[in-house]
Chains A and B, each alone.
Chain A
Amino acid sequence: MYIEDAIVSENKAIAEGIYRLDLSAPRIAATAQPGQFVNILVHDDLIPLLRRPMSVAGVNGDNLALIYKIFGAGTTIMESWASGQRVNLLGPLGHGWEYDSERLPILVGGGVGLAPINFLHEYLLGISKEHWLVIGARSKKEHFLAHDPANGILLTTDDGSAGFHGTALDGLQSVLRENKNAPHQIFACGPPAMLEAIGTYTVKAALPCQLAVEEMMGCGFGICQGCSIEAKVDADNDQPSYGKRFKLVCMDGPVFHADQLVLNHD
């Protein structure tokens, strides 16, 4: 965990409303693992007050990639950054994906949830590990990769304008049908409704699945206790959340096994 002044090298739109930010941050880049995040100080003014947590979308040498959507005050400021901009980062933070080399990885991403999925995808490409990448979006405009099932890339769209017509969960189920006999593991990140659908499905079907979740966050390293999430796992109180019922997204996560979380709050 470091506090590092990073320098923006590139900041550009890669699909409708989706941006990719590359920053030089040698210390964080050298240690970041797929699934970990950084907490970004967007400027020195006091509004917005808190840092913005964002999953690392990839690492290339000294460079760190982030993927973001303009959502509020923080990301509006981020969109204005040009190359050379100095940005204070805290990271890498949290626990990343637990990858099992004996299993076929099936990666499922949606929206900005693509960032930690993309990092894992690049990592698996780097070690030449065969895997599936399922990316969900509302329509073709929000995609920046090409639908390429022959090479393990399956795009889904809610409106059928590209790739597979259906949700990310539909796409996952289609990949699972094709790979019935291979021991696999699922990695998913995306909007809450998508995570709830995939988490509920995989827990019911007893499939090994990890979810990278988001929660409103204060500090990113356990001192504010703000980013609690309801968990099922019993443990003693010698853990970041101090208790059994909740876990902290920043320290215990942001990656959790789907069967550890309380996914339905109805």
Chain B
Amino acid sequence: MIDVTVKLSDQLILKNPVLTASGTFGYGDEGRDLVDVNQLGGIVTKSITLHPREGHPPPRIAETAAGMLNAIGLANVGVEHFCREKLPYLAGLETAVFVSIAGSTMDEYVEVLSTIEQANLGFAGYEINISCPNVKKGGMEFGVDANMTRELTQRLREATDRFMMIKLSPNVTDIGLIARAAEQGGADAVSAINTVVGMDIDPVTGNFKVSTGLCGLSGPAIRPVALAAVYRVAQAVSIPVIGVGGISAAEDVVRFVRAGAHAVQIGTLNYRDPGIGVKISARLPELLRKIGAGSLGELRGLVN
């Protein structure tokens, strides 16, 4: 029997290492006609902010070679609506649910998290989005500054006992430094990476392909960037690292685990195939058998 479970903490064991990435699987209920989400290792929700956000004007997305540019602008229902309409469904799922939260000030992050805590429902924990490149205030502002990352993590740590992972931006000079700041602040894990700042321009019209001009690149195009980031982060911290960036196959999961990740999140590929996370996790035992590994964990960090 090949073991694909992942122990993230003494309290939190994932049934498999495949989660959905924030902002790429809505609130977990949109695709339920297409896929049994309970077969996933976990779900990370769309980022929640204090107030509802309408997001950016169109066009919000553009396709690139094996990638996708986006500037959605953290469109979301807001924390109050989330707690009332979305969280009860999520709390009833038989998979680990991580609520992603974002804010434009530290107080706002704390208020969003505290509001969700007050709902007093059962779910695994949080992912703190300090790395969204597509909002003017907050978001990446925190994720590029080690001191702010540490302080924000500390303040949120005081507000919850649940599992808390910090989502890191690749748009920094030393991602290991930011990861260490999150660890020092009390994070239980870090996830890496959020989108890479990118842009495309129509050569004929001169129009930006995405309305904001600068936007975020995701998909298989950034997988090598993500793999390098995970490798560096895993060297820098002793808490679990969750790899994110262009994962499209079981082989990619093993790549990230060998780079040092405990688990992974699938993002852009959900748009192409909402069932891909379940398919990849189902294929893992066969792949591990082929590699000659009895568990996923024994491959962690094994690279030469």
Q: Which positions in A face B, CB cutoff 8 Å?
A: 1-3, 41, 46-51, 90, 215-219, 221-230, 237-238, 241-246
Q: In the assembly, what is the distance between CA of A223 and CA of B275, in Å?
A: 13
B81/A238 in contact, CB under 8 A: yes
Q: In the assembly, what is the distance between CA of A241 and CA of B148, in Å?
A: 32
B68/A218 in contact, CB under 8 A: yes
- Residue A3 contacts which of B56, B76, B275 (CB distance < 8 angstroms)? B275
- Knowing A226-B72, A238-B77, A242-B75 are in contact, say whether A219-B274 is a contact too (CB < 8 A): yes
State whether the Cβ of B199 lies closer than 8 Å to any Cβ in chain A: no
- Knowing A46-B66, A49-B63, A242-B52 are in contact, say whether A228-B268 is a contact too (CB < 8 A): no
Q: Which positions in B face A, CB cutoff 8 Å?
A: 23-26, 30-31, 33-34, 46, 52-63, 65-68, 70, 72, 75-78, 81, 85, 219-220, 248, 268, 270-275
Closest 3 CB pairs between A and B?
A: A243-B54, A226-B61, A219-B271
Interface SS of chain A:
loop
- Residue B54 contacts which of A222, A227, A242 (CB distance < 8 angstroms)? A242
A50/B272 in contact, CB under 8 A: yes
Residues of A contacting B34 in the complex (Cβ-Cβ under 8 angstroms): 1-3, 90, 221
B219 nearest CB neighbor, chain A only? A49
* Chain B: minimal CB distance from A211 (Å): 15
Residues of A contacting B30 in the complex (Cβ-Cβ under 8 angstroms): 221-223
- Residue B52 contacts which of A46, A223, A237 (CB distance < 8 angstroms)? A237
- Residue B31 contacts which of A221, A241, A245, A246 (CB distance < 8 angstroms)? A221
B55/A243 in contact, CB under 8 A: yes
Q: In the assembly, what is the distance between CA of A129 and CA of B7, in Å?
A: 63
B53/A243 in contact, CB under 8 A: yes
Count CB-based A-B contacts (< 8 Å).
120
A220 nearest CB neighbor, chain B only? B271
A248 nearest CB neighbor, chain B only? B75
Residues of B contacting A217 in the complex (Cβ-Cβ under 8 angstroms): 61
* Chain B: minimal CB distance from A64 (Å): 18
Residues of B contacting A216 in the complex (Cβ-Cβ under 8 angstroms): 58-63
A226/B60 in contact, CB under 8 A: yes
Residues of B contacting A227 in the complex (Cβ-Cβ under 8 angstroms): 58, 60-61
Residues of B contacting A225 in the complex (Cβ-Cβ under 8 angstroms): 23, 46, 55, 60, 72, 75
- Knowing A49-B268, A237-B52, A237-B78 are in contact, say whether A228-B57 is a contact too (CB < 8 A): yes
* Chain B: minimal CB distance from A245 (Å): 5
A49/B68 in contact, CB under 8 A: yes
A221 nearest CB neighbor, chain B only? B30
B20 nearest CB neighbor, chain A only? A223
B60 nearest CB neighbor, chain A only? A226
B75/A46 in contact, CB under 8 A: no
B248/A46 in contact, CB under 8 A: yes
Residues of A contacting B220 in the complex (Cβ-Cβ under 8 angstroms): 46, 49
* Chain A: minimal CB distance from B237 (Å): 30
Residues of B contacting A238 in the complex (Cβ-Cβ under 8 angstroms): 77, 81, 85
Residues of B contacting A223 in the complex (Cβ-Cβ under 8 angstroms): 24-26, 30-31, 270-271, 274
